[in-house]
Amino acid sequence: MNPSIKLLLLFIIALEISFTTIISLNIALVILATLYLLWRRTSLKTLGWLLIVPLLPAIGLWSTQYINGTGDNAQMAWVLFTRIYAFVFTGATFTLTTDILELADALEQNWHLPAKFAYGVLAAYNLVPKIQHEVKVIRMAGLMRGQTLSFWSPKLYFKAILVSINWSQNLAQAMQSHGFVEDAPRTHYRHVPLRASDWSILVIGIGLLQIGAFAIPWR
């Protein structure tokens, strides 16, 4: 499926369930997403991880509403609890099955996102392991000089930005040296089709969501 349409559909779902208060709809979405993930051969370990990660925030929201809410506390508490899981599971159907390059290709080819945005972000993304290492290096440089750099220390961010400025210039120059010219036309080796079936899935998906939200008398 076209990654951009998939993103759009999931985006609409996430937006809509932010405004609905139907527990069973949230649960239905979690089940549908789980089935899709199983079909896409997601490991049980990953699914288990998806269950555990949101637990604490979900409990936080649940208890806040349960103890300090107004009106039907329990109902709202469970809406929020299941909503978090709906976010995480529907979101995972995107992030676990689509990589950033596929999305960048679709946004560039189907939606004419300027290539500098698509490839600028990709270039930065591919430095993630180097960036994690560099944060360790900055902290170590601090420790060796007697200073602990925590998340509230301006110096930690200052150093991170200095490195970012440096690397962004190096990367931009390297990309230009590899023929990249801002706002110039490019050819495409990986073709991302935008088919009628993609649009159909989007329309049907949105339609089903409306039925779930408004037509079926569940709560």
Partner 1 sequence: MATITLNNLTYTYPEASVPVLDHVNLTLPAHQFTLLTGPSGTGKSTLLRLMTGLIKLPADHGQITYDDQDLATLAATDRAGQVALMFQNPNQQFAMDTVQNELVFALENRQVDPQVMTNRINEALDFVGIRDLQDRQINHLSGGEKQKVALAVIVAMNSDVILLDEPFASVDPAARASLLRRLIKLRDDAGKTIILADHDLTDYETLVDQVVQINADRSLSSLPKPQWPHFFAAFSAQAASDHHWPLPKNAPNALFDLQQVQLQQGSFVLLQPTDLQFLDHRNTLITGPNGSGKSTLFEALVRLNPYTGQINYHGDNIQKLKAKRYARQIALLFQDAETQFLNITVAEELAQSQKYAYGDYFTTDRIQQALTQLNLAGRDEQVIYTLSEGQKKKLQILSMLIMQSPVLLMDEPLKGLDLKSVDALVTLLKTTQAATQQTLIIISHQLTGLTSLIDYHLRFDQHQLQYQEVAP
Partner 2 sequence: MKWAKSWYLSDVILLALIGIFFGAIFMGTNYVYDVLTAALSPIGLGGLANELLLGLWCMPGMLAGYMLRLKGSATLGELLAATVEMFFGGQWGIATLISGIVQGFGAELGYIVTRYKHYDWLGLTASAATTTIVTFGWDLARNGYYKLQLWLLILYFVVRFISMFVFGGLLTRLITDMLDRSHVLKSSHSN
Residues that bind partner 1 (CB under 8 A): 101, 119, 122-123, 126-127, 129-130, 133, 136-138, 140-148, 155, 159, 162, 166-167, 170-171, 173-181, 184-191
Q: How far is CA 211 from CA 13, 187, 207, 214, 216, in A?
A: 13, 42, 6, 5, 6
- Please say whether the beta carbons of 138 and 160 come within 8 A: yes
Phi and psi at residue 112, to the nearest 5°: 55, 40
For residue 71, the surrounding DSSP H or E stretch is: none
Full DSSP string of 32-67 = HHHHHHHHTT--HHHHHHHHHTTHHHHHHHHHHHHH
Binding mask 170-199 for partner 2 (x = CB under 8 A): -xx--xx---x-xx----------------
Is residue 111 within the footprint of partner 2 (CB under 8 A)? no
Residue 10 CB, nearest distance to partner 1 (Å)? 23
Nearer to partner 1, 112 or 190 (CB): 190
Residue 43: name its binding partner from partner 1, partner 2, none (Cβ under 5 to 8 Å by kind): none
Residue 69: name its binding partner from partner 1, partner 2, none (Cβ under 5 to 8 Å by kind): partner 2
Is residue 53 within the footprint of partner 2 (CB under 8 A)? yes
Residue 165: name its binding partner from partner 2, partner 1, none (Cβ under 5 to 8 Å by kind): partner 2
Is residue 36 within the footprint of partner 2 (CB under 8 A)? no
Q: Which stretch binds partner 2 (CB under 8 A): 22-30, 169-177, 193-201, 209-217?
A: 169-177
Residue 188 CB, nearest distance to partner 2 (Å)? 19
* CA–CA dist 85, 91 (Å, integer): 10
Residues in 135-154 at the binding interface with partner 2, rule: CB under 8 A: 135, 151-152, 154
Residue 5 CB, nearest distance to partner 1 (Å)? 23
**Dmax over Cα atoms in the chain, in whole Å?**
65
Residue 182 CB, nearest distance to partner 2 (Å)? 5
For 40, other C-beta atoms within 10 Å of its C-beta total: 10
* CA–CA dist 187, 76 (Å, integer): 51
Residue 42 CB, nearest distance to partner 1 (Å)? 21
- Please say whether the beta carbons of 116 and 12 come within 8 A: no
Residue 148: name its binding partner from partner 1, partner 2, none (Cβ under 5 to 8 Å by kind): partner 1
Task: Kindly give the interhelix angle for 100-111 and 115-125, rounded to the nearest 10 degrees.
Answer: 170
